[in-house]
Amino acid sequence: MKNIPLLTQLGFSQQEHGIYVTLLEQGPSTISSISKGTGIYRPTIYKTLPKLLKQGLITVTKKGKRNKYVAEHPRMLEGLVKEMKNKVESDFDELQQIYLVHDKRPLVKYLEGRKGLSFVLDDIAISSNKHDVICRYSSRKDTTDVDKYVSQKYRDMREKKQLERLVITSDTLAKKKTTPRLDRTIKVVPTKFDLFDDDVSLYIYGDKVAFVDYNSDSAFIVESKYIASFQKKIFKLLFSKL
């Protein structure tokens, strides 16, 4: 008898798992042949069968005076998978509500190293909804390699969610972006004002603001609806003036 992890994930007991898989393997079977194939005692089989019958995963046919049990097509499991998915989504929504109503004070996360900076980008994609606008100041030096922080997960989610990016950066970095993108609009800080090469970036997304310091390979994320809203207003004001 094969072990099917999906059945355990769907909440099957060891006995239910054994009986269902054995019936799939053996075809129509009597209680005796089920017991032989599973090693489960007959009284336990009798107690277990009603649930599988109720779920429509097995049916019973009569051949002469003997009942034979038949496993239905595994497609019947799709209903259980859908139920589990709905339950997971419901529980997730409940957990999210608990998370959102916690202390209103800003939550600050400090991160370091390559993994830490990659986490920031992944968090941008995860925290954003479809078609959200991501605001970014980028004063990084043109010699700083940021590709090493960009995960495939971030790229895939950014494309899937069709995130729009508004960027304020230096003239030097803007000139390096030779390929125009519909999802990215760049404004430049005039060189007469500043070279804008501090090697720091600031991201504003959802209810969060992330500061990234490439000089020290460190970052911190401030999670606050009000701080993010405030920063976004300042960004958009400057963006409109450049």
pLDDT tens sequence across 47-85: 999 999 988 889 988 877 788 999 888 888 888 888 888
HSE at residue 232, side-chain half, CA atoms within 13 A, is: 17
Quick one: pLDDT at residue 1? 67
The first and second tokens of residue 43, run together, are: 């009284």
Domain boundaries, the chain: 5-78, 106-241
* Range from 81-95, 184-198, 224-238 that averages highest in pLDDT: 224-238
Q: Please, are residues 87 and 81 in contact by the beta-carbon 8 Å criterion?
A: no
**In 10 A of CB 108, how many CB atoms?**
10
Q: Which CATH class is domain 106-241?
A: alpha beta
Q: Any residues with CB less than 8 A from the CB of 69 and at least 6 apart, and which?
A: 23, 28, 29, 30, 31, 34, 49, 58, 59, 60, 61
The first and second tokens of residue 226, run together, are: 């009000």
The first and second tokens of residue 39, run together, are: 């090693």
Residue 138's pLDDT band, with cuts at 50, 70 and 90, is very high
pLDDT tens sequence across 19-31: 999 999 998 889 9
First-to-last alpha carbon distance for the chain, in angstroms, is: 69
pLDDT at 35 over 80: yes
DSSP string, 27-92: -SB-HHHHHHHH---HHHHHHHHHHHHHTTSEEEEEETTEEEEEEPPGGGHHHHHHHHHHHHHHHH
Q: C-alpha angle 172/163/179, rounded to 5°?
A: 35
> Which position has the token pair 């019973």?
60
CATH 1.20.1290.10 assigned to 5-78: no
pLDDT tens sequence across 75-115: 888 888 888 888 888 888 888 777 776 667 888 999 999 99
Q: Please, are residues 109 and 211 in contact by the beta-carbon 8 Å criterion?
A: no
pTM exceeds 0.95 for this model: no
